[in-house]
């Protein structure tokens, strides 16, 4: 045994302590490492650059609805694999994996509750569930959310986050575009507001349907909002697009949004808008 090995054997071995991965979060906006607890306390907004991180339904309900008022609506039952679709994997297997990962039944979750005393039904799309894609389950959940709002005689607020229609359901996913449009008309016939909050990212068939049909259109800062991709448009028109093209701020400047609201102000702003639209400002 060499002298070096004998010395190594005498020195007590100290186990290297590894930092758990969940303690830190790398911001997608500025690339800085942020303490996860600090990020969550700041409503999942980066305290260094103000980047609004994507959040799921449960976090959104917790930030938005009055404490103790949240009551999630049951997920609707729809045919799960109507086309028996298979690409590199079976669609049924993709659904199973998405449900395990996102801990949700599908990409749209509704809840009844109150926002600063105003009764409301809120729908939240979860981008973590197959890119928030719109299929039969999302379309049916949207209709159920509208029906719940009509039954409660209150506004329906939808938070969009989607890559568009779900390709594994083919034309059945595209049929959700007119279905949701009819549901919005039902809400209008009942004299109730439909409020849209666009979050990063919202695109494709969702952007071409219920995401742009709100009585009031709100967006979070610097959200990517689009129907077609930037490269597709540039190659079609053969022109260089502005750097801020397809952002919340660009849409606001061009009259396609009513307001861009920081997440910390969203609860109070929604309460104000609902109060004006329902004539119940005193409730706030």
- Chain segment 101-150, per-residue pLDDT in tens: 999 999 999 999 999 999 999 999 999 999 999 999 999 999 999 999 99
DSSP state of 189: H
The whole domain housing 270 covers 54-278
Query: What pLDDT band is residue 270 in, cutting at 50, 70 and 90?
Result: very high
Same domain, 199 and 112: yes
How many C-beta atoms lie closer than 10 Å to residue 179's C-beta? 15
**Phi-psi map region of 44: left, alpha, beta (phi>0 left; psi -120 to 50 alpha):** left
Whether 284 is covered by a domain: the verdict is no
Tell me the backbone φ, ψ of residue 24, rounded to 5 degrees. Answer: -125, 150
Whether 18 is covered by a domain: the verdict is no
Same domain, 30 and 126: no
**What is the reported pTM?**
0.90
- Chain segment 212-246, per-residue pLDDT in tens: 999 999 999 999 999 998 999 999 999 999 999 99
The 10 Å CB-count burial string (b at 16+, else e) for 151-169 is: eeebbbbbbbbbbbbbebb
Nearest to 133 by CA among 90, 182, 191, 94: 94
CA distance 139 to 73: 15
CA 65 to chain centre: 16
| 27 marked as part of a ligand binding site | yes
| 46 marked as part of a ligand binding site | yes
| 49 marked as part of a ligand binding site | yes
Whether 12 is covered by a domain: the verdict is no
Tell me the backbone φ, ψ of residue 199, rounded to 5 degrees. Answer: -120, 170
| 70 marked as part of a ligand binding site | no
- Decide if 61 contacts 70 (C-beta within 8 A): yes
The total number of structural domains that make up the chain: 2
């Amino acid at each position: 045994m060499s002298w070096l090995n004998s010395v190594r054997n005498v020195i007590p071995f100290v186990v290297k302590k590894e930092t758990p991965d969940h303690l830190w979060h790398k911001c997608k906006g500025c690339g800085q490492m942020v303490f996860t607890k600090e990020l969550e306390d700041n409503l999942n907004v980066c305290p260094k650059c103000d980047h609004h991180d994507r959040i799921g339904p449960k976090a959104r309900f917790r930030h938005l609805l009055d404490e103790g008022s949240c009551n999630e609506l049951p997920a609707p039952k729809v045919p799960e694999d109507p086309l028996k679709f298979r690409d590199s994997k079976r669609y049924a297997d993709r659904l199973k994996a998405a449900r395990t990962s996102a801990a949700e039944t599908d990409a749209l979750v509704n809840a009844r509750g109150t926002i600063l005393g105003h009764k409301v039904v809120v729908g939240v799309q979860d981008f973590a569930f197959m890119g928030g894609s719109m299929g039969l389950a999302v379309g049916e959940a949207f209709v159920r959310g509208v029906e719940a709002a009509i039954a409660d005689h209150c506004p329906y607020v939808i938070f969009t986050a989607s890559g568009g229609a779900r390709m594994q359901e083919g034309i059945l996913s595209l049929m959700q575009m007119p279905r949701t449009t009819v549901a919005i008309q039902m809400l209008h016939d009942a004299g109730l507001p439909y409020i849209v909050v666009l979050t990063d990212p919202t695109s494709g068939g969702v952007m071409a349907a219920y995401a742009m049909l709100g009585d009031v259109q709100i967006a979070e800062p610097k959200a990517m909002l689009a129907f077609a991709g930037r490269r597709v448009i540039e190659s079609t028109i053969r022109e260089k697009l502005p750097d801020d093209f397809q952002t919340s701020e660009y849409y606001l400047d061009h009259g396609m949004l009513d307001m861009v609201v920081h997440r910390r102000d969203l609860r109070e702003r929604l309460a104000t808008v609902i109060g004006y639209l329902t004539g119940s400002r005193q409730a706030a």
